[in-house]
Structure 1
């Protein structure tokens, strides 16, 4: 899309009409979603005083994201994104419309509220990866990072406004009116998506199908050690930090004696703190690395949980939740940024979907666990246990450093096209690739060390099997082999090799002593009709 006006800096994407319209619509849509969540979280305390029931509502909203984030990431790559987003918005509007009708008629029950919250979580799971994936379509390439930052800012604006507005609307007009406001917000988003003049994607002969894309995403995740570090640290942090979110409605109502409006103010305070944290984040990153920022987030979150366990005055609770918002956005952006930095563009949506799965899985499991513990130990005791666990986990995991994210993942396109005698069907496979090296005996140890590092890249980019063999008659002849499921997947592999991978290959080739480049051969499974 061409910009209507040239600009640079943080707010440059807002000068581009399509991004500005969709950004404004999503802020309104997210505001409505937070209003709905406030109404649901508060209504469950009317329907049941059980901490487990209250935590169940929190878990019902995050469980679908845990279950569906990865399939949603795949769908993002294989469906028309605009139509997909419209369908999801219709689903979410239907959920809130049903909640509005049930609340107005007095028929809303604990089971219905949990079930509809689960359906709303399904919509959020389907929508999340797609919203992230469309950003490069809405702005110029040089504005993508600013657009991502503005999306985070928009979410926190909605987080600041939505809960407070929802709480006031709930207190003044009731749950039905609050849910009705959410329905109206979805209509705004649907109208913006219908208006969006999205260009049709050109046909790609190597386009992946759902199952193939699903397998490729899982293969990459399984083979990427830097991503494993991010996922483990995210899982542990959010599992402990989820205690404050699972029990906050009971803190507001039972421990602090507040009403729905006060609960909305508490959540609004978290949102305001998140906005403040987002604005000062560049300065914090200039002074501290990612590991220090994540440790600081754990310490601040634990202190807030400890303060809330003491049933402080209401104004103190509002104040400390400002710090919770700042710590929360710091942890979210730090971990999300680390995940983004280790994912190449071709698998970014699926990799981020795995990250969302871990994030929401930790939040869901944590919410259920903290809710059950709250039944036995009480809300104040549970908050103290969560705070102590988060502090301990923060200092222990600080020793497991996050990846620096400074590797070059831009495609190198340095692999030559494979030689073929005749055209090969894309679905034919599996494919065996052999690369023959000549390595002198005194270089064997260094060669094997270098090629072991290269094996991770082979598996990430599509190989499901990899190994190294040597010629029994000539040990200086070493063959690297790897298996790919189809000819099309191998051609995609050619497009996925990054500049960082090219550097690794260069280190391996440094030990090849042959006059020519290593010989590369491709072997296909032979179709033998009539033979068993």
Structure 2
């Protein structure tokens, strides 16, 4: 599972998501710029391939093992590298080496997906090899994300950057719906090896783009920057530490869905490959719902209230998944979770940017946020998998739902106080 956060920073000013949605200029205008259009298409195909692989990987793992703990390790191994590599990757990107990082990381993910496709085709894939290749994919994502964030607004003029962010965001939400559904169809009609092969091909577009990307010298080659003591103290000040702790706790509870939905859907409910693939499609529909109404539910002057609501809505999704007796209830659970997920992930990202908006180490600061976010995801995944191993996935999801609800109600009361 991979999560891509878009660059909301326009120039030196942080532009909230709701502001992007009310722009009077045509949101499609950036697609008239050839270099941006090429980037958007390549990124769209890559994100589509990622969702296809997510469905196929968890499907294969549920056939290799029925243990909730082993299945949850798939989420753990893909998230863990971000915890340790996102900060150094961001720092290297801030030195002006984004292009090299992106090429190396995308090439590594291409090879990993290709090897996985080969192993599944030959019937030689094992739990260990699947987890190892998932770890390699996680390393590629950890190296890519901080640098990737700053590329988007370099491709268009200043007056088109707001629309460029929005169009890119729309593409991501479309792949959230199409990718899992297409993945389920490929699983049903051709098998998981084809899904992995399709994902490997999806990286070729971005590899070619970054290879040919006409980067200006003033953008790519920067003077060496250093991490000053003042920035270090600010980053880990008491005020900021409260945000990091909240992000860790929330993602710890939220990770239960990503870790246990394969067990609930494939092992316990016995869903078909097409039904299983469509689960993440309903998560994407929920995310699209949040994006469409983001001007009403993600206002920057009510960030705490919006986050509190997102935590509770996501908890509703966890509860429905815990008690779901059938495919229809699982779809409803994923839809609610998708609504809450997009809101909490976006607003946490924006809150982190506002704290570090004055720093010249943008990618490094973003790396800190990603490290905290994925630390909760990684350690949460293995914790909930262990809980389910010795109890049940339903009880684990119920406990996570209660915990996240309490965090949401506490934040609501603090915001109203």
Place the TM-score, normalised by the shorter chain, in its bin: 0.7 to 0.9
1:92 to 109, 114, 136: 109
Structure with the higher fraction of residues in helix conformation? 2
1:66 to 83, 86, 91: 83
Aligned counterparts, 1:69-218, within 5 A: 69-201=86-218, 206-208=223-225, 212-213=226-227, 218=232
SS in 1 for 2:391: helix
Q: 1:381 to 1:11 in 2, by over 3 A?
A: same
Structure 2 residue 375 is matched with structure 1 residue 361: yes
- Counterpart in the other structure of 1:371: 385
How much does 1:327 deviate? 1.0
- Counterpart in the other structure of 2:324: 311
Mapped contact 2:298–2:347 kept (Cα < 8 A):
no
- Counterpart in the other structure of 1:442: none
CA distance in 1, matches of 2:346, 2:28: 18
1:295 to 288, 304, 308: 308
Give me the TM-score of the superposition, normalised by structure 2.
0.88
CA RMSD of aligned residues (A): 2.3
Structure 2 residue 346 is matched with structure 1 residue 333: yes
How much does 1:217 deviate? 5.9
CA distance in 1, matches of 2:224, 2:322: 53
CA distance in 2, matches of 1:169, 1:204: 43
Q: 1:175 to 1:401 in 2, by over 3 A?
A: same
Mapped contact 1:76–1:133 kept (Cα < 8 A):
no
- Deviation string 1:36-84 (CA, Å, 9 cap, x unpaired) is 1211111111111100000001100000011111011011112432232
Structure with higher Rg: it is 1
Mapped contact 1:233–1:397 kept (Cα < 8 A):
no
- Counterpart in the other structure of 1:420: none
- Counterpart in the other structure of 2:262: 249
Q: Which has the higher contact order (CA 8 A, sep 6+)?
A: 2
CA distance in 1, matches of 2:372, 2:202: 29
How much does 1:220 deviate? 4.1
Q: 1:80 to 1:273 in 2, by over 3 A?
A: same
- Counterpart in the other structure of 1:481: none
Unaligned stretches of 5+ residues in structure 2: 1-23
- Counterpart in the other structure of 1:276: 289
Give me the TM-score of the superposition, normalised by structure 1.
0.70
How much does 1:205 deviate? 8.3
- Counterpart in the other structure of 1:389: 403
Mapped contact 1:69–1:353 kept (Cα < 8 A):
yes
CA distance in 1, matches of 2:301, 2:271: 38
CA distance in 2, matches of 1:88, 1:168: 28
CA distance in 2, matches of 1:71, 1:333: 23
Mapped contact 1:91–1:123 kept (Cα < 8 A):
yes
CA distance in 2, matches of 1:395, 1:75: 40
How much does 1:391 deviate? 0.9
- Counterpart in the other structure of 2:44: 27
- Counterpart in the other structure of 1:415: none
- Deviation string 1:424-457 (CA, Å, 9 cap, x unpaired) is xxxxxxxxxxxxxxxxxxxxxxxxxxxxxxxxxx
Q: 1:193 to 1:202 in 2, by over 3 A?
A: closer
How much does 1:311 deviate? 2.4
Mapped contact 1:217–1:351 kept (Cα < 8 A):
no
How much does 1:399 deviate? 5.3
SS in 1 for 2:27: coil
Mapped contact 2:72–2:385 kept (Cα < 8 A):
yes
- Counterpart in the other structure of 1:239: 252
- Deviation string 1:211-234 (CA, Å, 9 cap, x unpaired) is x449776444124x4433332221
- Counterpart in the other structure of 2:335: 322
Mapped contact 2:321–2:334 kept (Cα < 8 A):
no
Unaligned stretches of 5+ residues in structure 1: 1-6, 403-532
How much does 1:207 deviate? 2.1
How much does 1:92 deviate? 0.6
- Deviation string 1:235-273 (CA, Å, 9 cap, x unpaired) is 111111111111000111133220222121000110121
CA distance in 1, matches of 2:209, 2:229: 34
Mapped contact 2:265–2:330 kept (Cα < 8 A):
no
Q: 1:122 to 1:291 in 2, by over 3 A?
A: same
Structure 2 residue 246 is matched with structure 1 residue 229: no
Mapped contact 1:299–1:394 kept (Cα < 8 A):
yes
